[in-house]
Amino acid sequence: MKPIIAPSVLASDFANLQSEVEMLNKSQADWLHIDIMDGQFVPNISFGFPVMQAIKKHAEKPMDVHLMIVKPELYIEQFREAGADSVTVHLEACNHLHRTVQQIKATGAKAGVALNPHTSVQLLEDIIADVDMVLLMSVNPGFGGQKFIENTYRKIEATKNLILRRNSQAIIEIDGGVNQQNASLLLQKGADVLVAGSFVFNASDPIQAIADLKSVTFN
């Protein structure tokens, strides 16, 4: 099966956002990955609702919103209204993760849970059956363009095993340092969705870079 490709808009040229989104519309990208950072949960600030709405105005593909913010439960409905098709919250940012997952689902959006590189997959044991997606961070969140952390392969296997054991429908998304070289092994281990920021937007031909990721094979 072909992977779902979700280019991260964080790496795009914000001064030319409309043409960047139109490029993604024309490409084989499946989703637009939208990184929201608050300067609290992560040491960086990205953008908020007005920019998201501007993207939504031109986007012809689902918006996959990754919340790197504290207290995400305060903003779920607003992100949905701003055009989120899926909303992913960090396990580390939620005191009542089960409640927040139900809150996301009640808006009609898909619910994802993200884990930082140091967070054990075992902590998903009692929530995995309720979530639509697990996002495994393969870099420390906050910045694009970082080096892929190799331990991610092991975490994909552990997540896949947990999904099967608990009869969950969740899919696995990998975020950070993804490129054409590591994509094949990521898929082989069980990844379903590949997020790619710098690999796509730093390429001389982003449409081709997306096509290259989409056509990565594994056995």
| Residues tagged in the binding site annotation for a divalent metal cation | 33, 35, 66, 175
Q: Considering 30, 64, 85, 175, which one is annotated as catalytic?
A: 175
What is the C-alpha to C-alpha distance for residues 181 and 134, in angstroms, rounded to an integer?
22
Stretch that binds ligand DX5, among 23-31, 77-85, 98-106, 190-198 (CB under 6 A): 190-198
Stretch that binds ligand DX5, among 54-62, 75-83, 123-131, 171-179 (CB under 6 A): 171-179
Using alpha carbons, select from 107, 204, 205, 209 the residue that is nearest to residue 194. 209
Which residues, 63 to 102, sit near Zn ion by CB under 5 A? 66
Shortest spacing between CB 110 and ligand DX5, in angstroms: 17
30 makes contact with Zn ion (CB under 5 A): no
198 binds, among Zn ion, ligand DX5, none (CB under 5 to 8 A by kind): ligand DX5
CB 14 within 8 A of CB 45: no
Using alpha carbons, select from 118, 117, 133, 136 the residue that is nearest to residue 175. 136
Catalytic residue flag (residue 175): yes
Extract the tokens encoding 177.
């340092």
Cα–Cα distances in angstroms (integers) from residue 108 to residues 35, 55, 77, 155, in the given order? 20, 20, 10, 28
Catalytic residue flag (residue 35): yes
What are the residues facing 70 on neighbouring strands? none
Q: Considering 35, 85, 130, 132, which one is annotated as catalytic?
A: 35
What is the C-alpha to C-alpha distance for residues 51 and 48, in angstroms, rounded to an integer?
6
Name residues whose C-beta falls within 8 Å of residue 113's C-beta, 6 or more positions apart in sequence: 88, 89, 90, 91, 97, 101, 124, 127, 131, 133, 134, 135
90 makes contact with ligand DX5 (CB under 6 A): no
67 makes contact with ligand DX5 (CB under 6 A): no
Which residues, 113 to 152, sit near ligand DX5 by CB under 6 A? 139, 141-142, 144-146
Q: Which residues in this chain contact ligand DX5 in the complex, by CB under 6 A? A: 8, 10-11, 33, 35, 66, 139, 141-142, 144-146, 175-178, 195-199
Residues annotated as catalytic (active site), given as ranges? 35, 175
